[in-house]
Amino acid sequence: MSTPAPPWRWHVLHRASDLDPAPPPVEEHHAQHWCNFVLWRPTRLPDGCRAATGTLRREAPPGRVEAQGRTPWSDANPSGYRTEIHGHGRRLRLKQFLYDWAFPAADHPCLWGSTTRAAPIGDGRVVWLGTDYLGHRAASARMARTTVELSVLEGDFTDDEIVALYAALRPADPETVPRVLATPFAELSYWARHPATPVSVPTGVFRFHRHGRHDGDWIPSGQVTGFLTDQGVPVTAGAFRAESAATFGDGTAVRELDVVYSSPSGDEVRLTAQRTGAGRLTFPPERDKHPATAEIHDLAGRPVHLGHLSTDHGACDAWWQHPGGIDLRLLGSARTGLGPQAFLGLVTDIDGALRPHKTQVLR
């Protein structure tokens, strides 16, 4: 039997005031030690292009300072890595980070609101092509949990060039991959580790936002299995296993319970549960503005509202109500073979294993 990989531990700055005035150039292999995510490096570039040494934004505790590259919409200082690829009047940038202040909307939040199309890039992964919030031709993929965003800054790149670039991304340090995947989301997440105010962002095909101060209370990683068992919430769903959980409230009572399930390959689904009508899930759900397909399916005589972007790859967003008085939502990453039918299988697994009479934290 193989020995489990040890958890990933990375370098952080002790104070926000220690942040670099501008993110310094750092080779990927060395930058990986400062990242709470798997860092990827390009190994195949578009014709006539070369890659400049990427720049590293180091992690620091929350605090507003004058520093280039820091998050402009909050006091958080998470880590990130930026690479520019250019040549013959063309230029694009890759940006890598752990998207951890909410579930990544439709699995590609930088393309939110634009019509998108998916292309497989190997190992079951998918890259999405579309237009980003700045109006640039863009792409996005989640790879071993890392969000890898691409934006064309000058000239033009074909779909084939962009897909080939993503398909040829390789880990900067292969030994880091199993360690990151062995580390629970709650231990990686900046927003779970710091009292930083979250950003109100879309999370999927149907409308759900969290506003105001960070009201999440994350369960210690070693207690997640026991906690969920005590609450009557399933620990597994298909190939996915629960590894992080949090309760979200309004300061006086818990509104929702979130459970992060991950697979050995780093794919993720996230369950939100609330007592019927007591949290921020509203039924029937309202569509958010991202182009997608919305359907209603049957689950033992009850409706499941299912939204998805691709019948082959997902990403899926399912809402339903359990007769035991629990409202539920399941969000999923895009992956080859995780389209609507496979996703409904996960919904059926969770619904059948739920024991709402045991749930005590939700009020």
Q: What is the pLDDT of residues 158-216, one digit of tens each?
A: 999 999 999 999 999 999 999 999 999 999 999 999 876 667 788 999 999 887 655 68
Extents of the domains making up the chain: 16-181, 202-358
pLDDT at 30: 97
Does residue 89 have a pLDDT over 80? yes
Residue 343 has pLDDT above 90, yes or no: yes
Torsion, CA 173, CA 177, CA 179, CA 184, rounded to 10: 140
| pLDDT of 87 higher than 90 | yes
Is pLDDT above 60 for 102?
yes
Q: Which residues pair with 180 in a beta bridge?
A: none
Q: Mean pLDDT over residues 224-243, rounded?
A: 96
pLDDT digits 0-9 by tens, 295-323: 999 999 999 999 999 999 999 999 999 99
* pLDDT value for 254: 78
Residue 17 is predicted with a pLDDT of 93
Q: What is the mean pLDDT of residues 31-58?
A: 97
pLDDT at 70 over 80: no
pLDDT of res. 309: 95
Report how far apart, in Å, the C-alpha atoms of 330 and of each of 16, 197, 358 are.
35, 24, 20
Distance CA 152, CA 216 (A): 36
The pLDDT score that the predictor gives to residue 251 is 67
Residue 64 banded pLDDT, cuts 50, 70, 90: confident
Quote the pLDDT of residue 264: 87
Weakest mean pLDDT among 31-45, 71-85, 92-106, 192-206: 192-206
Q: Region 142-154: what's the mean pLDDT?
A: 97
What mean pLDDT, rounded, does the chain reach? 93
Q: Residue 67's pLDDT is what?
A: 76
Look at 66 and 176; give whichever has higher pLDDT. 176
241 HSE (CA, 13 A, CB side):
11
pLDDT at 75: 84
The whole-model pTM stands at 0.95
pLDDT at 198: 63
CATH class of domain segment(s) 16-181:
alpha beta
User: Pairing between strand 236-237 and 240-249?
Assistant: antiparallel
* pLDDT score at 196: 66
User: Which region among 51-60, 64-73, 86-95 has the lowest average model confidence (pLDDT)?
Assistant: 64-73
Mean pLDDT of 114-135: 95
Share of the chain above pLDDT 90, in %: 80
Q: Residues 270-288: pLDDT tens digits?
A: 999 999 998 889 999 999 9
